[in-house]
């Protein structure tokens, strides 16, 4: 299974747009998915009821939850575009991360609902109750759902990676989880139709199995974004890139207390650098400015970087490699 949280490195470092343009693109993508979901969900409910398929009805409920997450994405991204103010100095970017967590939690609730509904049908079957056999319309709805939901996943994920949006990534995976759900529904309904008789139990069994796939996606999305809300450090590759910028900048003799985090789609870093104690304040400030410019080239122009300058205590014997090791131990 693909990573549910990582954005491709090519787009992560190169793509830059102002927040209003970013929101407009994300909202356009999300509104397009709402339109498709509205038509597809209605058809699924009709097919599930008319086709006597509990798996298809569960699939329709899963699709219905997409409306909730689509609205969460639009609202989250809209609020996230607000600039920093007196009470939110770093902006409102974490609202987008919070929206992604909400999507993960909705997916978990949907997974539990599908599991419970399928299990109830299975237990009823083993108690001797007769389960209605699904019909062809439910099977056709499952096939159509697979095609449309996979397309929605790809359509949303392309923009999510370009816009570096965790909320859109989470929503894209919600679409794919719906496609997974429909694959199992298709297998269960198809098996029940073709084999008939006691094999109608395949329909709710498919629903139960798929609930675990959906729960796995929900966990991955929630875990990653909760980590960001809890100020988790940036990934090791980005961390290493920042270290390389620090030790390769002319005038930097060492560094320590490097701390990193993510604020919405922006990266943030705080670090103490050490310079020649005989430098003037102006020269020391120019070094910190060069570092900040290089960090913005690598990590994005909307990043937040705080660089504290200190005099090097042992200029002649200081090793930059030792600086890296000391930083690792202290951070």
pLDDT in tens, 268-305: 899 999 998 888 999 999 999 999 999 988 887 778 88
**Rounded to whole angstroms, how far apart are CA atoms 167 and 24?**
14
Residue 2 lies inside a defined structural domain of this protein: no
Same domain, 13 and 88: yes
Question: pLDDT tens-digit profile of 62-121?
Answer: 777 777 777 777 776 676 666 666 677 666 767 777 877 887 888 888 888 878 888 888
Measured CA to CA, the distance from residue 193 to residue 186 in angstroms comes to 10
Q: What angle in degrees, to the nearest 10, is found between the helix axes of 19-50 and 54-80?
A: 170
Domain with residue 29: its CATH number is 1.20.1510.10
* Residue written as token pair 């096939």: 143
Task: Give the residue from 229, 251, 273 where a domain finishes.
Answer: 229
- Asked if pLDDT for residue 264 goes beyond 80, the answer is no
Q: What is the pLDDT of residue 4?
A: 53
Q: With respect to residue 4, please indicate whether it lies within any of the assigned structural domains.
A: no
Please give the tally of structural domains in the chain.
2
- Nearest CA to 157 out of 6, 314, 310, 321 is that of 6
Residue 251 within any structural domain of the chain = yes
189 in a structural domain: yes
3 within domain boundaries:
no
pTM for this model (two decimals): 0.65
> Half-sphere exposure (CA, 13 Å, Cβ side) for 220?
19
Q: For 163-188, what is the mean pLDDT?
A: 81
Regarding predicted confidence, which is higher, 7 or 310?
Answer: 310
Structural domain ending residue among the three candidates 168, 196, 229: 229
Among 7-16, 97-106, 234-243, the minimum mean pLDDT is found in 7-16
* pLDDT for 7: 44
- Of 229, 244, 271, the residue at which a domain comes to its end is 229
Question: Within this chain, do residues 178 and 224 fall inside the same structural domain, yes or no?
Answer: yes
Domain with 165, as residue range(s), is 9-229
Closest residue by Cα to residue 191 from 204, 209, 176, 174 = 204
């Amino acid at each position: 299974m693909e990573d549910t949280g990582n954005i491709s490195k090519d787009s992560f470092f190169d793509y830059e747009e102002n927040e209003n343009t970013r929101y407009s693109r994300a909202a356009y993508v999300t509104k397009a998915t709402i339109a498709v979901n509205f038509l597809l969900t209605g058809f699924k409910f009709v097919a599930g009821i008319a086709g006597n398929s509990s798996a298809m009805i569960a699939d329709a409920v899963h699709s219905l939850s997409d409306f909730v997450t689509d609205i969460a994405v639009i609202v989250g991204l809209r609020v996230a575009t607000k600039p920093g103010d007196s009470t939110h100095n770093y902006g409102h970017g974490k609202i987008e991360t919070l929206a992604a967590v909400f999507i993960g939690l909705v997916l978990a609730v949907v997974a539990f609902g599908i599991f419970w509904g399928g299990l109830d049908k299975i237990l009823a079957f083993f108690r001797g109750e007769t389960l209605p056999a699904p019909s062809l319309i439910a099977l056709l709805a499952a096939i159509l759902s697979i095609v449309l939901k996979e397309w929605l996943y790809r359509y949303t994920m392309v923009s999510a990676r370009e816009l570096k949006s965790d909320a859109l990534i989470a929503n894209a995976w919600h679409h794919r989880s719906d496609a997974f759900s429909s694959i199992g529904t298709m297998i269960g309904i198809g098996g029940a139709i073709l084999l008939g008789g006691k094999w109608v139990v395949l329909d709710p069994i498919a629903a139960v199995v798929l609930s675990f796939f959906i729960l796995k996606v929900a966990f991955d999305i929630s875990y990653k974004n909760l980590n960001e809300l809890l100020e988790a450090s940036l990934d090791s590759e980005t961390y290493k890139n920042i270290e390389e910028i620090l030790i390769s900048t002319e005038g930097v003799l060492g560094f320590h207390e490097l701390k990193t985090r993510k604020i919405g789609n922006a990266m943030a870093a705080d670090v103490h650098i050490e310079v020649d104690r005989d430098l003037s304040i102006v020269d020391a400030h120019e070094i910190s400015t060069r570092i900040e410019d290089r960090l913005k080239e690598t990590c994005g122009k909307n990043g937040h970087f705080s660089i504290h300058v200190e005099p090097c205590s042992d200029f002649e014997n200081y090793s930059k490699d030792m600086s890296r090791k000391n930083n690792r131990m202290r951070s």
